[in-house]
Amino acid sequence: MKTLHNHIEDSAHQTDTRAAGDQHLPLPLIFDILKRQITISTNFLTLLEAEKNALVNMDMSSLISLTRLKERELAKMAQLDHSLQEVAVQVVATVSGRNNKVIKLVELVPFMSREQALTMKGLRDQLAGLREKITDNNLINKRFTSDTLGYINDAISLICNEITSEPTYNIPGRQLSGNSPAPALLSREV
């Protein structure tokens, strides 16, 4: 399986005499979509950093607001991913006549000049790095949230449940009967 770098090298060895008919290929649109994805992914990383700060500060109103913003940005990312796929399918179908449902960026290299292929590789690598950071930061926030909820549940359990499982004694030193409620910080009767 060839990598994008290998495809670029192979394409460099080909003569770069593109037919005049190839000028109508929407390759600039691919670069535009990749640049927009990079911008949105960068913004999403900023949102994840703000989310982490809101989690640390337990700022619920900020968390709610950030969740809405993240949902909007994710929708934009999904739409751009879909658009990129549509344009890639169109390029491959126009040039080769293949009508694949899914096209990888590496499959577009033979239809690009060396400069275009290198530009695409740079944009793709930048986007892949951002998406990896997004995954990592999202996982960190998810773990932090999970750990915090665990601590809160433990605290609630300690406050509401029996403080001790040891037998309780009344003043004269006799063990209290099993029907007597164990001491707790909050009454369950309320």
Kindly report the CATH number assigned to the domain that includes residue 143.
Answer: 1.20.58
Asked if residues 81 and 105 have their Cβ atoms less than 8 Å apart, the reply is no
Instruction: Determine, yes or no, domain membership for 183.
Output: no
Residue whose entry in the numeric block shows the structure tokens 């960190």: 140
The answer to whether the predicted template modeling score (pTM) of the entire model surpasses 0.95 is no
Instruction: Determine, yes or no, domain membership for 85.
Output: yes
Asked if residues 11 and 110 have their Cβ atoms less than 8 Å apart, the reply is yes
Over residues 166-180, mean pLDDT: 55
Q: Which of 41-50, 55-64, 117-126 has the lowest mean pLDDT?
A: 55-64
Instruction: Determine, yes or no, domain membership for 117.
Output: yes
Instruction: Determine, yes or no, domain membership for 83.
Output: yes
Instruction: Determine, yes or no, domain membership for 168.
Output: no
Task: Give yes or no for residue 8 having a pLDDT over 90.
Answer: no
Domain interval for residue 146:
4-13+24-160
Q: How many domains is the chain partitioned into structurally?
A: 1
Q: Where are the beta strands (DSSP E) in the chain?
A: none
Instruction: Determine, yes or no, domain membership for 51.
Output: yes
pLDDT value of residue 93 = 85
